[in-house]
Amino acid sequence: MRPVNLNRRSFLQALGVSAAAAAAAPLLSSCTSSADDTAAGGTTPSGGGRAVKLGFISLTDCAPLVIALEKGYFAERDLNVTLENGKSWPEVRDKIINGEFDGAHALYSMPFSVATGISKIEGSAEAQRSMRIAMVLNNNGQAITLANDLAAAGYGDLEAAKETILGAGAKSFGQTFPGGTHDTWLRYWMKAAGMDPKADGFEIKPIPPPDMFNNLNQENVRGYCVGEPWNARAVVQDKGFTAITSQDIWQHHPEKALVVGNAFATERKDVLKDVMLATFEAAKWADDPANTAEVATIIGVPKYVNATPDEIEARLGGRYDMGADIGEMTFTEDRMRFFRDGLVNMPRKAHALWFMAQYVRFGHLPAFPSDASALADEVILSDLYAEVAKEAGVTVPDDDMKPFTVKLDDTTFDPANPEEEATRS
């Protein structure tokens, strides 16, 4: 593996993103149905080199992988990367497990949901525990959206949210994957507000992220938790408002990760390391506010997020129109972040234990898994991350397994005693 050649990168970008993209241009221009194919989940290859297939979902936080491809960071490392729209998180899960995807932009908690049986799959116990987390792709930037007729809930007001939602009989909500991050933010918020999905008769439906707004618009749900830009779209279309952002639930929480199959991590470790090194470079570039407008333009096209730059750019830059006459809010250090001097990207065992504690609190699991610590060690590729970070010149934080505080209910989680959180009311 070679260090990044800045002169070569500048040369490639000056020529129009990358030599690989330039070489592919005649083929793409001759294929009249390519836009429709990619919008429907087709593939986008990066050019010659070692073949890697990565999945993604149409969300703003797929940006590090898209930028790594479109800006030539993958090509610089002799990687022929294909990005494929997985359309839904269950499809992404299945394709990582069966090896169709080497890895993907995926929910940080997905491997733990699958390994503990919350998200059920067909196959062996070995398959159930075959997903690995190589690095985190972003912090922050998700939200809970409510329909406009629930505007009395306001923003971040737990008491008003409970009174308004229960008073209106608004019992149908969307999340994206059982045991996933959006499922967790939604249930954590409800529990903090004194709402009990089971006792209060809520129906919490798994819905693919790009379909969230349409379900709200058609009144199939009264609210949802999802990543951007699908919360912004509800505001732009004047159908919903942001009741709370995920950074106001837990500031700098882990969100999406580069999740890979165990076979890729063990049998093609050198290739995975180069994928990670390229993703580091892309994450740094995308995290720079000076590049926000360009990121929004690059990822907004139909084959990726399929949203207008206006729906993506403002919230990516931390400027939120909350809707429902709530006004505007600005997030700076806790906007959606992709790098933050390396603080974003290290996958932390403590965070894995926190998610598994929430699974008990929410009734997904009857008790805290006795092998939770071993599972976290198995899933998180800590040694590989440290090795790649050192080569990239990225400092590895020393905060893992230290207590941290969740902002919404001002609760401190001690990873040395996760059972305490698991049994908290």
**Could you tell me the CATH number of the domain that includes residue 89?**
3.40.190.10
Strands 79-85 and 43-45: antiparallel
Q: Specify whether 326 is located in the same domain as 373.
A: no
Q: Specify whether 276 is located in the same domain as 370.
A: yes
Q: Specify whether 171 is located in the same domain as 128.
A: no
Q: Specify whether 189 is located in the same domain as 169.
A: yes
CB atoms within 10 A of CB 198: 9
Extract the residue ranges of the chain whose pLDDT is less than 70. 1-44, 46-47
Domain encompassing residue 243: 142-251+320-330
Q: Would you say residue 418 lies in a domain?
A: no
Domain count, the chain: 2
Q: Would you say residue 235 lies in a domain?
A: yes
Identify the pLDDT of residue 42: 52
Q: Specify whether 98 is located in the same domain as 189.
A: no
Name the 3-class secondary structure at 27: helix
Q: What is the pLDDT of residues 30-75, one digit of tens each?
A: 222 233 333 345 566 766 789 999 999 999 999 999 999 999 999 9
Q: Specify whether 135 is located in the same domain as 151.
A: no
Q: What is the pLDDT of residues 276-296, one digit of tens each?
A: 999 999 999 999 999 999 999
Q: Specify whether 237 is located in the same domain as 282.
A: no
Q: Would you say residue 284 lies in a domain?
A: yes
Q: Would you say residue 117 lies in a domain?
A: yes
d(Cα 372, Cα 374) in Å, to the nearest integer? 5
Q: What is the pLDDT of residues 160-180, one digit of tens each?
A: 999 999 999 999 999 999 999
pTM of the model: 0.90
Q: Specify whether 64 is located in the same domain as 133.
A: yes
Q: Specify whether 73 is located in the same domain as 191.
A: no
Q: Would you say residue 419 lies in a domain?
A: no
Please tell me what DSSP assigns to residue 397: P
Q: Specify whether 265 is located in the same domain as 382.
A: yes
Identify the pLDDT of residue 74: 98
d(Cα 77, Cα 87) in Å, to the nearest integer? 28
Identify the pLDDT of residue 123: 84
Q: Specify whether 17 is located in the same domain as 103.
A: yes
Identify the pLDDT of residue 43: 63
Identify the pLDDT of residue 49: 84
Q: Would you say residue 243 lies in a domain?
A: yes
Q: Specify whether 25 is located in the same domain as 122.
A: yes
Q: Could you give the strand order of the β-sheet that contains 256-261, starting from the edge strand earlier in sequence?
A: 43-45, 79-85, 50-56, 103-107, 256-261, 131-136
Q: Would you say residue 152 lies in a domain?
A: yes
Instruction: Count Cα atoms within 13 angstroms, Cβ side, for 361.
Output: 25
